[in-house]
Structures are given as structure tokens and as C-alpha cells.
Amino acid sequence: MDATDAGVATGRNRDWIAEAVAALHREAARSADTHLLHASFPGLPCIDFYFKDEAAHPTGSLKHRLARSLFLYALCNGRLRPGQAVVDASSGSTAISEAWFARLLGLSFTAVMPATTAPAKIEAVHALGGHCDLTGPDTCPQARAREIAAQGACFLDQFGLAERATDWRGNNNIAESIIEQLRRERHPEPSWIVCGAGTGGTSATLGRYLRYRGLRTRLCVAEPTGMAFARVWHTRDHGARATHATCIEGIGRTVAEPGFLFEVVDEVIEVPDAASIAGMLLLEEQLGRRYGGSSGTNLVACLQLAERMHACGERGSIVSLLCDRGERYDRTLFDPQWRERSGIDPAPWSRTLRSVIGDDATHARPPAP
């Protein structure tokens, strides 16, 4: 290829990148912001609860925002070329969102995910035209994704790039959206925001934005018991590894990921899997639809914080995230037989959570005008 041909090819590449970026911006403009659901509970009368319904995104989860950011980051850094295959390591929800955006841009996509991933997630990737490379317990999905990338694919690398790919200062990120939606509420500056840690991107965005705005709101990470974020946050030993396994997909990493910013987190609450599932079931009862296990983890942490506030006579609001659709777990977390086979009994935790909120807890409702 001579210099003229190279210049033409470069120009075509730039044209394609410009159109791909424009397509992602158009998609973002078409996607209305997600709802902030309000709930109040008789057992905690002075505290307002708000649930950011991220499952309402077109791809059904919080990861829709991340996937768009990862594609934009790859395009604007020159890492993604016209017609190039795309790969990432994911336990499901990010993969579904990435498959959706890959289809939008006309690119092939491979999701490297553990073979134990909920079947509905694997099926969703396939339905969007993606391919699933399923790994066994002895294979690191990220290492496998790098092997595929070495053959020419663009590795989106959610775990390595999530915290830097997201614009944390604003541009309608999730933190700015929450604070804006609360502006006319009784307690517009929440006492706490609660989220989980999978890539670390969401907690990094929230923690940075709260400081950027000078807000007194504190950030809590809700973590499955014994997982890496909690171990490192408590010990500040970045080599600390998880001491337990978890069935709660999307959060709870075995090692500290590059995107975990521990310094912007004010508290970590560890939640047993049985409690997360009890929280998930309680959310379905209160909100009238199903959300996944990580949403249940968040709820349990919210209620622990609310109990603490209530005991001290504090008033205020707590915000958390509804991370993905519960239908993805119909054959796992929501299946009583699956839970029994897995040795998980949420009933004792369900009784505990009910006692915290009060037996006649009100159903969630949109914020009052």
C-alpha cells in the first residue's frame, strides 16, 4: 500500500469512527433517563428510600451505560477499527449490553463468561447475534478474552477500563442523574448512596461525583460476604483475595480489579447470599416486578444503614440501584428447587428483613408531586 492508499484508508477509518460515535450519541439521546422509584416503610418512618431502576435500559441492566462508554472509549482512543471483532469478559449483563451495541455498529462480538452464568443471560447474548465462549473453573475469563484479542479482536476490558471510560464529572452519568432527580424531594441530598462493586466503575463514578459536587452524601458498597472489595477496603492490602464464593452474579470479585477505587468509598457492608436472595424476593413483593440478586444485596445494605440512622434519630434519604431484570434468574436465584440444591435458605433472612421494614410496609410508588 502506497502513501496515497494509506491516506485514503485512514480517511475511511476516521469517517467510520465519526459515524460510529455519532450513532452512540444518537442512541444515548433516544434513551430516556431511568426512573427513581420512591418507597417508605412503617418500621423506618423518618427515612425515604429511592431505587434507581437501571433495569429499564434497552438492554435491561445498569451495564447499558458502561457498555456505551466502553465502545466510545475504544473508538476515541483508536482501538476499535471498522469491521473489527469485539470481545470482553463478563458474567452476563455487561455482555448482553455489549452484544446490543456491537449489533448497533455492525460488529461481531464474543462474550467470555463462566459456564455457570445464568442460562437466560447466555441466551440473551445469542439472541443479539453474539457468541459465548464459556470457561470452566480453572480458566480466567479475562485471560481467555486477551487470547482472543491477540488474534485481532478489540478487547473492551470492562474490568480494566470501567472507571476511566465513564465521564464521572457529569454528562448525565448515573450520579448526576440521581442528584438531579432528587432535587425537589424532601431530602434532596441523600444520606447514603448504595451500590455493588463488579468492575468498580459505578462506585468510582458515584464517589468521585459526590466529592466533585461537594456533597455530604456518603457512599456504601454492598458486597457479597468474603469477596475481594471488602477484604481490600478493610485491610488496604491490595493483594487480598476473596475468602468465599458467591452465587450473586455481577458483583463480588475474587481479586481487586483495576477499577476499584477504595478511597472514594465510605463504608462496605458484607451481605450473605441468602440475605441477598431474601432482599431480591422482598423487592419483587414491594415493587411488583423482579430484579436480580445484586439488587437484593443493595437492599439489605440499605436497611442496615437505615436501622443505624433510625436508632440515632436521624432523618434523611437512602438511594440504591436496581441493577438488572430478575427474569434472567428465573432458573437460578428465583427457582426454589435451585436454591434447595444449592443449600441456600432465604426464609430466616426474609423474616428479619420484614421485621425491619414493618409487616404492613407500603409498596414503592413514584415520588409525590
The b-or-e profile of 22-46 (16+ CB within 10 A means b, else e) is eebeebeeebeebbbbbbbbebbee
- CATH number at 63-163: 3.40.50.1100
- At residue 133, the 3 state secondary structure works out as strand
pTM: 0.91
Backbone φ and ψ for 343, nearest 5 degrees, come out as 75, 30
Q: Is 313 exposed, middle or buried (0-12, 13-18, 19+ CB in 10 A)?
A: exposed
- By the 8 A CB rule, do 274 and 348 touch? yes
31-60+167-357 shares its CATH topology with 63-163: yes
How far apart CA 15 and CA 2 sit, in angstroms, is 20
Sorted by where each begins, the domain ranges of the chain are 31-60+167-357, 63-163
Tell me the per-residue pLDDT of 212-269, one tens digit each, with 9 for 90 and over.
999 999 999 999 999 999 999 999 999 999 998 999 999 999 999 999 999 999 999 9
pLDDT score of 359? 66
Which parts of the chain register pLDDT below 70?
Answer: 1-10, 172, 359-369
Helix (H) or strand (E) holding 178: helix 174-181
Residues 294, 175: Cα–Cα separation, whole Å: 18
Of the candidates 20, 16, 142, which has an alpha carbon nearest to the alpha carbon of residue 72?
20
pLDDT value at residue 129: 97
Q: Give whole-number Cα distances, 93 to 106, 190, 266, 297, in Å.
A: 20, 28, 26, 16
The rounded Cα 230 to chain-centroid distance in angstroms is 17
The grid coordinates listed for 145 are 478474552
Question: CA angle, corner 220, sides to 216 and 222, nearest 5?
Answer: 165
Contact 232, 259 (CB under 8 A): no
| Class of the CATH domain delimited by 31-60+167-357 | alpha beta
Q: What is the pLDDT of residue 166?
A: 86
Write down the pLDDT at residue 346: 98
